[in-house]
Amino acid sequence: MMKRVFISGGAAGIGRATAQQFINAGYAVGIGDVNELALRDTAKALGSACQPHVLDVCDPAAWTRALTRFTGDDGRLDVLINNAGILHAGRAEDITFEQHSRLVDINIKGVIAGCQAALPFLKNVRHSRVINLCSASAIYGQPSVASYSASKFFVRGWTEALNIEWARYDIHVLSVWPIFVKTAMVDNAPDMKAAAKMGVSLTPDDVAKILLKLSGQKRPAVHTPIGLQTSLFKRFVNLMPDALNRRVVAHMADIRA
């Protein structure tokens, strides 16, 4: 039977690249996105193996409708990829409360809604997977993207907790931690000084290949850093005293600590 993967935020960037990778591997792919026009364009480009679903990830009922339609009569889902997310860059006080709130709705509540809606379908498959898009910004709180960074700390904790809770259902809950990826989200955030200083070396395909690999590993790690910069930063933060970590992160963001 053909395996199934559902990807939120699937109309562009990492989501679209991931859909292509899974189609190439023989999966039936469902993509959900709030951008209906981009969704249609992506589905047309990817062909009949890709099924589009207009999806506001903050709406649990919309999740259930999309997953029910996608999984069909047998109601089975092999992999859920929570990819949808937004970012606002700048000093925390210069970003409106409404913008912070919208980010929390999508990056946090959207992940909760997706996991809860997918659980009944994931339980119908042995060794099913949930893969959450986390970030290197969950290693140490990042100035200039404070609410985004904080939302990824939530994703980190949520992943670790569900990895334990859902083991009884034979569901592996994982996360991936890319640093800066060449996507519109990063391109449209000129106030994110760390990206300018460190460079943007990862592509959506780099992340997509790791997501596909994790979907088939027998004993996947709970968290997978993507890119050398992420791996080195994680090791540095774990080994160095907090005062030094703070100074390094502030320097990366061009902020006097």
pLDDT of residue 78: 98
In order of 38, 52, 175, 194, the CA distances from 163 in angstroms are 32, 28, 10, 31
Phi and psi, residue 223, nearest 5°: -125, 135
The pLDDT value recorded for residue 86 is: 96
Tens-digit pLDDT string for the chain (257 aa): 799 999 999 999 999 999 999 999 999 999 999 999 999 999 999 999 999 999 999 999 999 999 999 999 999 999 999 999 999 999 999 999 999 999 999 999 999 999 999 999 999 999 999 999 999 999 999 999 999 999 999 999 999 999 999 999 999 999 999 987 877 666 655 665 555 555 557 899 999 999 999 999 999 999 999 988 888 878 878 888 888 878 878 876 767 65
Q: Per the structure, how many domains does the chain have?
A: 1
Q: Give the residue numbers marked as catalytic.
A: 148
pTM score: 0.91
* 3-state percent breakdown (helix, strand, coil) of the chain, nearest 5: 55, 15, 30
Question: What is the C-alpha to C-alpha distance for residues 141 and 249, in angstroms, rounded to an integer?
Answer: 8
Q: Is residue 131, in this structure, part of any structural domain at all?
A: yes
Has residue 159 been placed in a domain?
Answer: yes
Q: Tens digits of per-residue pLDDT, 211-230?
A: 999 999 999 999 999 988 88
List strands edge to edge, sheet with 128-133. Answer: 50-54, 28-33, 4-8, 79-82, 128-133, 171-178, 223-226
Q: Does a structural domain hold residue 224?
A: yes
Q: Tokens 């259902």, residue?
A: 169
**pLDDT at residue 28 in the model:** 98
Q: How far apart are CA 37 and CA 11, in angstroms?
A: 9
- Would you say residue 248 lies in a domain? yes
Q: How many CB atoms lie within 10 A of CB 220?
A: 17
Which CATH number does the domain housing residue 239 bear? 3.40.50.720
> Is residue 257 in a domain?
no
Q: How far apart, in whole angstroms, are the C-alpha atoms of residue 131 and residue 23? A: 17
> Could you tell me the residue range of the domain that residue 117 belongs to?
4-252
Per residue in 135-169, pLDDT (tens digit) is 999 999 999 999 999 999 999 999 999 999 999 99
What pLDDT was estimated at residue 194? 55
